[in-house]
Amino acid sequence: MGELDGKVAVVTGAGRGLGRAHAIELAKQGAKVVVNDLGVAADGSGRDESAGQGVVDEIKSAGGEAVAHFGDVADWEQSKSMITTAVETFGDFNILVSNAGFCRDKMIFAMEEDQFDSVLRVHLKGHFCGIRHAAEYFRNKGKAEGQVYGRILSTASEAAFFADPGQPNYSAAKAGIIAITGGAATALAKYGVTANTFMPRARTAMTMVGQTAQFFAKPDEGFDMFAPENVSPFVAWLASPSAQNVSGNVFIVWGKDITVMEPPRHGVTSHASDEDAGWTFEDVKAQMTKVFEGKVPVKDSFIPPPVF
């Protein structure tokens, strides 16, 4: 018996890495799982349905229930069909874990339009489509039944905060995911549905490419702090009844650590000197000069933090 017995989950990008680990952990806790995966490479190229089907077979061999779904998360109808597949196969839908995505990194002055559009499409629109269709299902059921069991879990990245100049597409998408998920938390609270965003640091197809590969490499011995499986128990907990009072939050999860992020706070506020009038250029100059005195501007020595 698990905390998620009788619950039905959809996990996107569940063929490998974090998504695979999430799907297996949710099934371990008793959930029936729709394993969504296109089987694309780290840059979004290619397609291989064997990865998603392999996770389904792995869950079934362990005594769980799962079904594969090979739709595109950023396609309106194919995204909706994930929810339909859950309901038609298992009789209900309760949990959405959005994880699918890929990277096409390039410095901001060299990025092509398609590199920007494609990454925003899979991450930001892919999250939006899933959340939108899940929200509609939860709202309709909530209007008929009152409170419903619904969980929305979104995957963002610390790149949303650190503004990597080599990932203007990915960073923007991940920042947008936080906003969309927070809005869903507010919109669905009356029905008992929760929505949270988590930022995993883990070894995935995306982190094992380029300059981050060495940092995320598996150690020869000892605790593997970047193993995707370290993140999944937290995901399962957020999806469980134990986290009913947890909604609208952003978390960083990796290794042995879980950090709850604080909401953004106002910094220094300056007021126009003349109470009967607004700002003048001279007044702005005088006050802002004081605020930024001794501070240095952003330099061209950006070092990406250990994120993703």
Whether residue 177 lies inside any domain: the answer is: yes
Burial (0-12, 13-18, 19+ Cβ within 10 Å), 48: middle
Whether residue 307 lies inside any domain: the answer is: no
| Pair of tokens at residue 290 | 């004081």
Please say if 171 is a catalytic residue. no
Which of 56-60, 64-68, 238-242, 296-300 bottoms out in mean pLDDT, i.e. has the lowest?
296-300
Given the residues 80, 125, 141, 174, the one annotated as active site: 174
59-117 residue pLDDT tens: 999 999 999 999 999 999 999 999 999 999 999 999 999 999 888 888 999 999 999 99
CATH number at 139 reads 3.40.50.720
pLDDT computed for residue 157 by the predictor: 92
135-170 residue pLDDT tens: 999 999 999 998 999 999 999 999 898 877 888 999
162-212 residue pLDDT tens: 877 888 999 999 999 999 999 999 999 999 999 999 999 877 666 546 556
Domain that holds residue 196: 8-260
206-225 residue pLDDT tens: 654 655 656 566 667 787 78
Whether residue 301 lies inside any domain: the answer is: no
The rounded mean pLDDT for the chain is 90
Whether residue 291 lies inside any domain: the answer is: no
Integer Cα distance of 235 and 201 in angstroms: 13
Cα 300 to its chain centre, rounded Å, is 29
pLDDT band at 232 (very low <50, low <70, confident <90, very high): very high
Model confidence at 287: pLDDT above 50: yes
Q: What is the mean predicted confidence (pLDDT) over 44-72?
A: 90
Using the structure block, give the residue that is written with the tokens 């008793």. 30
Please say if 157 is a catalytic residue. yes
Whether residue 289 lies inside any domain: the answer is: no
Whether residue 72 lies inside any domain: the answer is: yes
| Pair of tokens at residue 259 | 């950090």
Whether residue 168 lies inside any domain: the answer is: yes
Given the residues 170, 191, 240, 247, the one annotated as active site: 170
C-alpha distances in Å from residue 53, one per residue of 33, 34, 64, 66, 261 = 12, 11, 14, 9, 35
Burial (0-12, 13-18, 19+ Cβ within 10 Å), 122: buried
SS (H, E, C) the chain: CCCCCCCEEEECCCCCHHHHHHHHHHHHCCCEEEEECCCCCCCCCCCCCHHHHHHHHHHHHCCCCEEEECCCCCCHHHHHHHHHHHHHHHCCCCEEEECCCCCCCCCCCCCCHHHHHHHHHHHHHHHHHHHHHHHHHHHHHHHHHCCCCCEEEEECCCHHHHCCCCCHHHHHHHHHHHHHHHHHHHHHHHHCCEEEEEEECCCCCCCCCHHHHHHHCCCCCCCCCCCHHHCHHHHHHHCCHHHCCCCCCEEEEECCEEEECCCCCCCCCCCCCCCCCCCCHHHHHHHHHHHCCCCCCCCCCCCCCCCC
Given the residues 79, 157, 171, 232, the one annotated as active site: 157
Number of domains the chain contains: 1
| Pair of tokens at residue 245 | 């009072």
Q: What is the mean predicted confidence (pLDDT) over 30-50?
A: 80
For CA atoms 295, 199, 114, 166, give the dihedral sign: positive
Please say if 190 is a catalytic residue. no
C-alpha distances in Å from residue 76, one per residue of 5, 99, 131, 246 = 29, 17, 11, 29
Whether residue 281 lies inside any domain: the answer is: no
Which distant-in-sequence residues (6+ apart) come within 8 Å of 77 by Cβ? Answer: none
∠116-119-122 over CA atoms, to 5°? Answer: 145
